[in-house]
Amino acid sequence: MLFNSIQFAIFLPIVFLLYWFVFDRFISRSKWQLRLQNAFVVVASYVFYGWWDWRFLLLIAFTSFCSWGSGLLIGKAETKKKAKTWMWLNIILNLGILAIFKYYDFFVSEFAELFNISTDGLLLKVILPVGISFYTFQALSYSIDVYRGKIESTKDIVAFFAFISFFPQLVAGPIERATNLLPQFLKKRKFDYSTAVDGVWQILWGLFKKMVIADNCSVFVDKVFSTYTEQSGSTLLLAAIFFTFQIYGDFSGYSDIAIGTAKLFGIKLMRNFNVPYFSRDIAEFWRRWHISLTTWFRDYVYIPLGGSRVSKAKVIRNTFIIFLVSGFWHGANWTFIAWGAYHAILFLPLILTGKNRKYTNQVAEGRWFPSLKEIGQMFLTFFLAVLGWIIFRAESIGQAWEYLCGMMQFGTLRAFYRFFTLTELRLTNLFVVIMLVIEWLQRNKQHGFEGIDKLYFLRNKYLRPIIYAILLILIMIYGGKHAQFIYFQF
């Protein structure tokens, strides 16, 4: 079920009303209230997830049960060695499932091509379950954190299933840790009106970024990428820039909708994006882009390898490992590995000069406008990100190379003229500028519409629904095609 669909627009209010007015209010005196409410979350989440294909439910249920069981076995283990064994068995099981569904055909095809062997009868050709990479990593974090003693294993299987399958963030994150999300299912939630209102604003902001920014950008991007050999260099550059905003509007838009939806149910999810295109170097960019995945690799791969506490050579090694693994996590294609390697290479100068932690605050802190130096840094970082997204978007390494070569050739300025004169592109360009302005002004907030209800003209509780309706109408009028979210394929 897509967030930007009529089905979800019907599904969400029904689940919301049942969640608070049936499983919270009407059975509030029952000792089973919390468990029944969590059971309802699981049922709603399975309906949401099974909307794509009911067979996916068997896999997520199996993953959930095995991870829950491994947590109990780790917690009851008499020795550290036994606990470690149970942890690794769960890791191998989950990664094995992920490898079969996501990478088996890729490796078989590459091996067959290398040795000129036929793949007849060797490929599984299975459907990739939506969001399998996300909930697998969430399940892994639980068993690892139980082993590390950061959280106690839970006997409450219903709460655990709710933790793994919670529908707002199930298929595209944020990738939550058990230390944050699971305890929220183990205690009674209370409805908070101000939090719910903020959640609605964040949902609207996410829908704006997805439907108005990403979906409109995709029309131009898809057209240019499908005919890139026929386009001028400037047109290729413009399409790359549009894809840069498309993938940001698409993925951060999903995260905003997910986080805002969770707020409606009294659940707090971690922030997944923090205005990454205002970063001053590539290290800051990665502290602000897909934060839940970046911190996951930091805590479960980078730090166990020694992190930054080892020699410079090993720090470089560790950096390349997490970027290559992160790239491959995105999909079974050499382009993703090349994309990861590209960003690892960009990290090298920062690591060698010890400046990879230079920028940890917001740009232009306490000021309306950035300095000329900061503007230059942001433009350079943005351009480097654009080059990386070309590799990410390409279907093969060869296509990425041809696209980059074509873009670097001197192109006619007519492409820019067409960009600013065609109505569709001009409108999309305006929407992108509006998004950037709002995010710049709100860069110290959690999302673009945070606090907007405190503006004088929106304080009236009767006027607020009208403003909601106007925003929804604008999104429906100017929103592009109802496209699937890009990160669903991962």
In terms of domains, do 265 and 382 share one?
Answer: yes
Residue of 330, 343, 447, 482 marked catalytic:
330
Looking at this protein, which amino acid is placed at residue 287?
R
Same domain for 236 and 201? yes
Average pLDDT value for residue range 308-330: 90
Q: What is the mean pLDDT of the chain?
A: 88
Residue 221 lies in a domain: yes
Does any domain span residue 154?
Answer: yes
Q: What is the dihedral of CA 357, 358, 362, 363, to 10 degrees?
A: -140
Could you read off the pLDDT of 51-76 as tens digits, one per residue? 888 888 999 999 999 999 999 999 99
Same domain for 223 and 77, yes or no, is no
CA 33 to centroid of chain Cα atoms: 32
Asked whether the beta carbons of 411 and 234 are under 8 A apart, the reply is yes
For the chain, the distance separating the N- and C-terminal CA atoms, rounded to the nearest angstrom, is 16
Q: Which of 145, 169, 189 is the last residue of a domain?
A: 189
Burial bucket for residue 11 (CB in 10 Å: 0-12, 13-18, 19+): middle
Q: What is d(CA 230, CA 432) in angstroms, rounded to the nearest whole number?
A: 26
Q: Residue 102 corresponds to which amino acid?
A: K
Residue where one domain finishes, among candidates 145, 171, 189: 189
Specify the DSSP class assigned to residue 227: T
CA distance 37 to 55: 25
Q: Look up residue 154 and give its amino acid.
A: T
Note if the pTM is more than 0.85.
yes
| DSSP one-letter code for 172 | T
Are the C-beta atoms of residues 409 and 233 closer than 8 Å to each other?
yes
CA distance 150 to 193: 32
One domain for residues 211 and 143: no
The answer as to whether 388 is a domain residue is: yes
Query: Could you check whether the bond before residue 174 is cis, i.e. omega within 30 degrees of 0?
Result: yes
pLDDT of residue 317: 92
Whether residue 108 sits in one domain with residue 15: yes
Task: Give per-residue pLDDT as tens, 429-451.
Answer: 888 998 999 999 988 999 988 88
Does residue 250 form part of some domain? Answer: yes
Same domain, 265 and 404: yes
Query: What is the total count of domains within the chain?
Result: 2
Decide if pLDDT at 121 tops 80: no
Same domain, residue pair 180 and 247 = no
For residue 28, the model assigns a pLDDT of 59
- CB of 178 within 8 A of CB of 70? no
Report, as an integer, the average pLDDT of 177-195: 92
Residue 96 has pLDDT above 70, yes or no: yes
Residue 6 has pLDDT above 90, yes or no: no
The DSSP 8-state label assigned to residue 228 in this structure reads G
Residue 416 has pLDDT above 60, yes or no: no
pLDDT band at 332 (very low <50, low <70, confident <90, very high): confident
Tell me: do 164 and 60 sit in the same domain. Answer: yes
What span, in angstroms and rounded, lies between the C-alpha atoms of 410 and 130?
Answer: 41
pLDDT at 330 over 60: yes
The alpha carbon of 44 is separated from its chain's Cα centroid by a whole number of angstroms, namely: 21
147 and 209 in a common domain: no
Say yes or no: 115 and 245 in one domain: no
Domain boundary residue, one of 189, 217, 244 = 189
Q: Given this model, what pLDDT does residue 381 score?
A: 95
Residue 258 near residue 269 (C-beta atoms within 8 A): yes
For residue 288, what pLDDT is reported? 94
How remote is the C-alpha of 233 from its chain's centroid?
31
Q: What is the signed CA dihedral for 30, 33, 34, 36, rounded to 10 degrees? A: 140
Asked whether residue 266 falls in the same domain as residue 409, the answer is yes
Q: Which residues contact 133 (CB under 8 A, 6 or more apart)?
A: 98, 102, 329, 490
Q: What is the CA radius of gyration of the chain?
A: 23
Q: Over pLDDT 70: what percentage of the chain?
A: 92
Q: Are 325 and 339 contacting, i.e. CB atoms less than 8 angstroms apart? A: no
Specify the pLDDT at position 474. Answer: 82
- Residues across the chain: 490
Contact 242, 217 (CB under 8 A): yes
Retrieve residue 4's tokens. Answer: 């930007």
Domain containing 203 equals 194-280+359-489
The verdict on 391 and 419 lying in the same domain is yes
List, for residues 362-411, the tens digit of each pLDDT value: 888 888 899 999 999 999 999 999 999 999 999 999 999 999 998 887 65
Cα 266 → chain centroid: 21
Would you say residue 133 lies in a domain? yes
Q: How confident is the model at residue 473 (pLDDT cuts 50, 70, 90)?
A: confident
Q: Is 290 a catalytic residue?
A: no
Answer whether residue 324 is part of any domain.
no
Residue 2 has pLDDT above 70, yes or no: yes
443 occurs within a structural domain: yes
Position 358 scores a pLDDT of 86
Tell me, yes or no, whether 335 lies in a domain: no
